[in-house]
Structure 1
Amino acid sequence: MSLITNVMDHSLDDGYAEAAARKKADGAGGMPKTLRAKLGLAVGLVLAALIVTVGAAQARVAAPAVAKEREELIDRIDQETEVADELEGSIDELREDVGARQREALRDSGGSDRSELVGVLAGAVAVHGPGVRLVVNDAEDTTAGGDGDPRSTSGFSDTGRVRDRDLQRVVNGLWESGAEAVSINGQRLTALSAIRAAGDAILVDNRPLVPPYTVLAVGDGPQLSDRFQDSADGLYLHVLQENYGIRTAISVEDDLRLPAAPSVIVRTAQPITEKGTS
């Protein structure tokens, strides 16, 4: 009977009673949970703002140094470009002097007419005469596309930009149509010339060109223009114009002047003499 009486008198465990009393005491004298949460959030925001401020200050401190390094790099590029231009000018002068001496020596030996013809065909001498001027330029919106794609195997997504293969077809079409001398943006083409791509740039004999691309071709102007526009390469250019917005303009000229090729060097081929191979 004493056990039953004890259970009835103490229905709640003493531990529970102590925990309830302690919780009540904390609630009366401690900080509410919502206030503690707000205080923690405020501290976090302050720390984040402090980190951002320190980062911005460091960026401002480093900006002058980065700008200075960029200016120094630009100055170095400009200086090296000037040196390269001077060297290129010297090379051109020396090349012209060598060509003049060669022509003089050939005249003295009685081979002037043949040497001039060989020089014209090889692109080693400057020429002038009637012909056509063909200007090819990128589309105003280089992302423009069309239904058909004559360059579907190229893998280029930007179909409004003139590519090296486009200029290759233009030049080949002009040769096939009767051109006797061709240049692109002042670069004379020879049998050794190459039109390639380096990224988005077009190289002619390893010299980068920028649009618009002006192609000069010496020949019978009206006939050359008609033949080219009716050729497969001329029609190809027309398709690029219609489908991709590539801008083209062709005109017949009375007198065009084409410079000599920068370098015509043959390292392997040898002429055949009357007695056999030299």
Structure 2
Amino acid sequence: MCGMPQQPPVRSTPSRPRRPDASMSLLTTVMDHSLDEGYAEAAARKKAKGPSQVPRPLRAKLGLALGLVLAALVVTVGAAQARIAAPVVAKERAELIDRIESATSDADELEGDVETLRDDVGERQREALKKHGGSQGELVSLLSGATKVHGRGVKLVVDDAKEADQGGGGPRESAGFSDTGRVRDRDMQRVVNGLWQSGAEAIAINDQRLTALSAIRAAGDAILVDNKPLVPPYTVLAVGDGQRLSTRFQNSRDGQYLHALQENFGVRTSISVQEDVRLPAAPSVTVRTAEPKAGKGTS
């Protein structure tokens, strides 16, 4: 009996256990192949070629040379541009200088005209004082400072103490007085008032003639006489009975005040009798007149 061919027994092959991360195929691929194949291939080729043909020091020198070439190019371009702009700048500068010189010349000419007109006005005012002053015209002109005057008198010099700072040592106003040895506006006011009271007929400070309307003030580091700044030493010239004027002033309260400044604060003073003192006329004289209206009385 023919039997059916026997087939070899089928052996069951045990299946491999499933990986726990089988469901995370993308993450697994990334972890297994962290280096891209292209990068790996390039690294292999570089390793096969051996070290770079250009040494590192040489590459550094080439980079430095390239930087120097670029810097030289920038400097060259800047110099070329400056050379192109130089004539324009020089022309503008020359034009500006010409304009300044022209404006300065015009200002000087105008200032000269103002001085001429001021002198003319002063002369007319002096003539008016003489003409309308009657018998007292000369005295009025003298007391108002409208005319030049000379005669016997005194010379009084007042200066800061030696230790005082001449280069901006503070204001000369009387307010906020401190022991700095600097002559103040109040000091000069007392000097002038003391000379008037002692018999002075005319007074000038640093060739600045004083009148009945003159004011002595201070502005910063300068003392102003009729708004004209004066600097020390202050030379006071007074016309009067020389020796008598000197004695009376030194014995007056204002003379004693000046002496106290010298003793206590080092302010330097000196007074001397002069045989001929010359004083200029005041730069400008203001003439005021008043006339009552007819038919109206005064109240």
How high is the TM-score relative to the length of structure 2? 0.56
Provide closer, same or farther for how the CA distance between residues 116 and 158 of structure 1 changes in structure 2, counting only shifts above 3 A. same
Match of 2:137 among 98, 110, 115: 115
Deviation at 1:78, TM superposition (A): 7.9
Task: Identify the residue that residue 151 of structure 2 maps to in structure 1.
Answer: 129
Check if 1:200 corresponds to 2:226.
no
Deviation at 1:91, TM superposition (A): 3.9
**What does 1:238-253 align with in structure 2 at a 5 Å threshold?**
238-253=259-274
**What does 1:2-41 align with in structure 2 at a 5 Å threshold?**
none
Check if 1:174 corresponds to 2:195.
yes
* CA-to-aligned-CA distance 1:23-70 (integer Å, 9 cap, x gap): xxxxxxxxxxxxxxxxxxxxxxxxxxxxxxxxxxxxxxxxxxxxx9xx
Code of the aligned partner of 1:89: E
Match of 2:162 among 109, 129, 140: 140
Provide closer, same or farther for how the CA distance between residues 175 and 157 of structure 1 changes in structure 2, counting only shifts above 3 A. same
Q: Secondary structure at the match of 1:142?
A: coil
Preserved contact between residue 129 and residue 257 of structure 1 (Cα < 8 Å)? yes
C-alpha distance in 1 between matches for 2:248 and 2:186: 20
Higher helix fraction (1 or 2) = 1
Preserved contact between residue 203 and residue 237 of structure 2 (Cα < 8 Å)? yes
Code of the aligned partner of 2:199: G
Task: Identify the residue that residue 254 of structure 2 maps to in structure 1.
Answer: 233
Preserved contact between residue 137 and residue 248 of structure 1 (Cα < 8 Å)? yes
In the alignment, structure 2 segments of 5+ residues that lack a partner are 1-92, 166-171
Check if 1:210 corresponds to 2:231.
yes
Check if 1:102 corresponds to 2:128.
yes
Task: Identify the residue that residue 112 of structure 2 maps to in structure 1.
Answer: 86
How high is the TM-score relative to the length of structure 1? 0.60
* CA-to-aligned-CA distance 1:62-110 (integer Å, 9 cap, x gap): xxxxxx9xxx8x989987985676355324531454256437756xxxx
Code of the aligned partner of 2:234: Y
Code of the aligned partner of 1:98: R
In the alignment, structure 1 segments of 5+ residues that lack a partner are 1-67, 144-150
Deviation at 1:184, TM superposition (A): 0.5
Sequence identity percentage: 59
Code of the aligned partner of 2:155: R
Preserved contact between residue 200 and residue 239 of structure 2 (Cα < 8 Å)? yes
Match of 1:155 among 176, 200, 219: 176
Task: Identify the residue that residue 290 of structure 2 maps to in structure 1.
Answer: 270
Runs ≥4 residues deviating over 4 A: 74-85, 103-106
C-alpha distance in 2 between matches for 1:170 and 1:80: 41
Aligned length: 199
Deviation at 1:206, TM superposition (A): 0.4
C-alpha distance in 2 between matches for 1:214 and 1:76: 38
* CA-to-aligned-CA distance 1:84-137 (integer Å, 9 cap, x gap): 76355324531454256437756xxxx664211111111111111101000111
